[in-house]
């Protein structure tokens, strides 16, 4: 069974390196990672709208994930494979990994790449970054691709990273928690 402390340490190291590299690459560009454009930066963050959009998007994705897991063999097999890989996770592990992954990945894919390469290319790259070369994990890549398009749409609609980061963190926190609980159940 995987060690949750080791998984969290590795996850934090990976996402810290990813965020650091993203920040380093963005420096010569002289633009903020938080906002989609100078115009969006001028408008600032509409906290109610952006937080609400992020949480609503997270709720929709979590509901879709639960439906797929609960009502399709493909979803059930994917959840079993991911649960087996992750092992049991404590709530704090889920929250830490969700925060680290959402901040680092959204800074890279939405904050840095989407203004440079566009919504479609950034979403495709996001899906590709979640590719796992195991047959039973291939649906996860498709799920990540769809999520990438949704997160990119949030970024385009709000002009900043608040909604995509909250949506990403919410989805990851809840789904990691559900997968961690699933890992505790006896198989068969």
CA–CA separation, 117 and 113 (whole Å): 6
Question: What pLDDT is stored for residue 188 in this prediction?
Answer: 53
Q: Of 150, 137, 3, which is closest to residue 62 (Cα–Cα)?
A: 150
pLDDT score of 110 more than 80? yes
Q: In the structure, what pLDDT confidence band is assigned to residue 187 with cuts at 50, 70 and 90?
A: low
- Where are the domains positioned within the chain? 47-184
**In whole angstroms, how large is the CA radius of gyration of the chain?**
17
pLDDT score of 161 more than 60? yes
Check if the beta carbon of residue 15 is closer than 8 Å to that of residue 101: yes
Determine the 3-state secondary structure of 1 from DSSP: coil
């Amino acid at each position: 069974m995987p060690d949750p402390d080791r998984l969290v340490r590795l996850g934090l190291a990976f996402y810290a390196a990813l965020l650091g590299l993203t920040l380093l690459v963005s420096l010569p560009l002289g633009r903020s990672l938080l906002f989609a454009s100078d115009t969006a930066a001028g408008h600032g963050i509409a906290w109610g709208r952006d937080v609400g959009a992020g949480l609503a998007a997270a709720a929709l994705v979590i509901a879709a994930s639960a439906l797929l897991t609960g009502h399709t063999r493909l979803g059930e097999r994917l959840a079993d494979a991911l649960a087996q890989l992750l092992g049991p996770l404590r709530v704090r592990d889920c929250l830490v990994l969700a925060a680290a992954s959402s901040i680092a990945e959204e800074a890279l894919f939405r904050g840095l790449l989407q203004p440079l390469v566009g919504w479609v290319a950034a979403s495709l790259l996001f899906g590709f970054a979640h590719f796992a070369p195991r047959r039973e994990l291939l649906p996860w890549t498709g799920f990540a691709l769809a999520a990438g398009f949704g997160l990119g749409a949030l970024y385009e609609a709000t002009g900043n990273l608040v909604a995509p980061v909250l949506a990403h963190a919410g989805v990851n926190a809840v789904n990691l928690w559900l997968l961690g609980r699933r890992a505790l159940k006896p198989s068969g």
